Structure 1
């Protein structure tokens, strides 16, 4: 079982900052250093840091709800945050989010190659296309590009970044002091990319990363997103309201990977799991109920509107949520619709639920949590989990102290790290030079 920790670079979630045990130190380096040590002691594979390039304006085209309720803000730059975490650990992987819509391939290739070298091969890049008009408005546009264009840009972006990582051969650096030769020019190539969106000459100014490519993360939920994820991603992050919907997604991503000519076992799928663990099931339910009481419907609505990128105030909040044609995070939208239709909820009621939802049904005793996780693994709904805390660092401490021993007893998670890189610990091969050619290739014949 792979384990990732979902960790905001700022206050935790919509109400996590309100938890009685939540510290106020989320703008300090020590806050992230503490969590990194907790995660490494528990044997987590990676700390995963999401990002957004705006203060959301999803309700009434105003940033006031997001600021008032702490919805999607603050968001510090994730790269310095994970660098702090890498500096105090030896094995924990560190994955930072960066958008292909508002960055350039050369700068992203250099940033993550540098991070991979400095961490000893533990870096990951979460590839996103961005989903908020408010993000576009911070970068000179009135609204997001059409989804087709965003994913077309992302595809070309990935081709260029991986070619830049491949511009140095693994053996290019000689450091021949006697003859004064630093590196072999014949083992360094220009990229000379001329595409629809980017023109990049290369080569990269950083030698090839220790992992070949830092581990690529993606959260594809739409059809275009699933194609991008199944073609390029090493790890796919997703969110589901039921094990059945997770199974459908798991099956689809693995099949798409096979059609792209990839080994489906080399695409790790990690559904979100919000774990609330107690001494027994009753204690865990009481903890979650106390957490849910911290949620105001307005804060939950602000969070939901941010994720679906739709101003919900245009609808009757005491009526049902209508079907929406264009949404931000399609995975969250499907999760919302599945739950609201099953429970027959109004928009306001959905908001209250969404602010404190526990993905994966992970509320209970350590045995219950482990049973649920094992069921998802055995029924091909997951290769592991992205653990979402209700508050930090307390949730991770409780998971580490109570659930990890039960998982270890079953042989589901490691007792110690066996590899030195994030790819080693995820069971992923190191890409050979020019692996990008295969990932950019067309589907297998007949598909």
Structure 2
């Protein structure tokens, strides 16, 4: 268990609520402005948060806009413009070859001086994975198995990026035009050997995948006891994969609305609910209250070893990220539950994880 809480923030979209862009100050008109994301990361960096994560999943907000900036390209832009904070890009394995993933993340890692992270993503949508139904068990199993195989390959390529398989050209067709793709160019080995891998784990198959490959495991839980049980289960999967559980950080996803008082926070939730016409069913912890209240929850769960920290999904990024940095973090620091500065220069330094051994060092 780490001394301090590990806290990351998901900066996808304008917030975890689909109606966040319609609220005052959301800057919804700047959704596709990379400068806006740079400003938000600067706020997170000012608070010494562990990492920011960008997800370009088209299904983030069902029924909402399906337009997203590419997560890896956003991370690459931010890499040389930031310091200290980890930059995690969600890159899917359903359509992207491991060689492309390894090169993209390694490039971000080089540009940031060792602060890149890869969130393993996959798709089970009916139009993307051959299946009998939109959420069939076979589609989920196939997608997760494919993601696990891709993660293993990406790890090997990071250790030896020049060892890409040489195969006959692959042919793809787009708008009636055939394209041939041969061997992919590679980048230099990442600064820290292997950038931290992040996996969201809910199902048994996802937990197994996380146990084999993840450095940071994102779980869902609605109570402290549920979080503790899930954390024990995922750490068991880490042990079953022959790994040391001390080399993994387990973070609970929390959906956050912070106000100057509980009534104000609840009023903002009610407003967002009215705008959307649906209740806020997150499938994980949702905190609606004050900065002090959330800081107490973080400390309580940390002390109970229910989690190593949290991945925060601000209901409205522009509002709740500032409240987190300026309101919650000072309270946590006062109780020595969160650090005041970055402990080093790399993402692994921040997570308190050792640089992994080079698997091919003896033969390189």
Q: Quick check: TM above 0.5?
A: yes
Structure 2 residue aligned with 1:427: 352
TM superposition outliers: structure 1 runs of 4+ over 6 Å: 141-145, 201-204
Length-normalised TM-score, structure 1: 0.70
Determine which of 80, 84, 88 is the counterpart of 1:95.
88
Structure 2 residue aligned with 1:7: 11
Question: What CA deviation, in whole Å up to 9, does each residue of 1:323-343 have, x standing for no partner?
Answer: xxxxxxxxxxxxxxxxxxxxx
> Shift of residue 277 of structure 1?
2.0
In structure 2, do the counterparts of structure 1 residues 190 and 242 end up closer, same or farther at CA, with 3 Å as the change threshold? same
Q: Confirm or deny that 1:397 pairs with 2:322.
A: yes
Superposition pairs of residues 278-317 of structure 1, within 5 angstroms: 278-297=259-278
Question: What CA deviation, in whole Å up to 9, does each residue of 1:182-235 have, x standing for no partner?
Answer: xxxxxxx635589xxxxxx98963221001111100012111110000110000
Contact preservation (8 Å) 2:16, 2:255: no
In the alignment, the residues of structure 2 paired with residue 360 and residue 54 of structure 1 have an alpha-carbon distance, to the nearest angstrom, of: 20
In the alignment, the residues of structure 2 paired with residue 363 and residue 295 of structure 1 have an alpha-carbon distance, to the nearest angstrom, of: 17
In structure 2, do the counterparts of structure 1 residues 13 and 367 end up closer, same or farther at CA, with 3 Å as the change threshold? closer
Determine which of 226, 229, 253 is the counterpart of 2:207.
226
Structure 1, gaps ≥5 residues long: 57-64, 169-188, 195-200, 298-351, 437-447
Superposition pairs of residues 18-417 of structure 1, within 5 angstroms: 18-23=22-27, 24-53=29-58, 66=63, 70=64, 73-136=66-129, 146-167=139-160, 190=163, 192=165, 205-297=186-278, 352-354=279-281, 359-417=284-342
Length-normalised TM-score, structure 2: 0.85
In structure 2, do the counterparts of structure 1 residues 9 and 384 end up closer, same or farther at CA, with 3 Å as the change threshold? same
In the alignment, the residues of structure 2 paired with residue 54 and residue 399 of structure 1 have an alpha-carbon distance, to the nearest angstrom, of: 26
SS at 1:75 equivalent: coil
Q: Which has the larger radius of gyration?
A: 1
In the alignment, the residues of structure 2 paired with residue 281 and residue 53 of structure 1 have an alpha-carbon distance, to the nearest angstrom, of: 33
In structure 2, do the counterparts of structure 1 residues 391 and 142 end up closer, same or farther at CA, with 3 Å as the change threshold? same
> Shift of residue 31 of structure 1?
0.8
Greater mean alpha carbon deviation, residues 215-224 or residues 202-211? 202-211
Structure 2, gaps ≥5 residues long: 168-181
> Shift of residue 9 of structure 1?
4.6
In the alignment, the residues of structure 2 paired with residue 126 and residue 86 of structure 1 have an alpha-carbon distance, to the nearest angstrom, of: 16
> Shift of residue 158 of structure 1?
1.8
In the alignment, the residues of structure 1 paired with residue 306 and residue 99 of structure 2 have an alpha-carbon distance, to the nearest angstrom, of: 36
Contact preservation (8 Å) 1:167, 1:203: no
Contact preservation (8 Å) 2:99, 2:184: no
- Figure out how many residues of one structure are paired with residues of the other and give that number: 341
In the alignment, the residues of structure 2 paired with residue 55 and residue 387 of structure 1 have an alpha-carbon distance, to the nearest angstrom, of: 15
Could you say what the CA RMSD is over the residues aligned between the two structures, in angstroms?
2.9
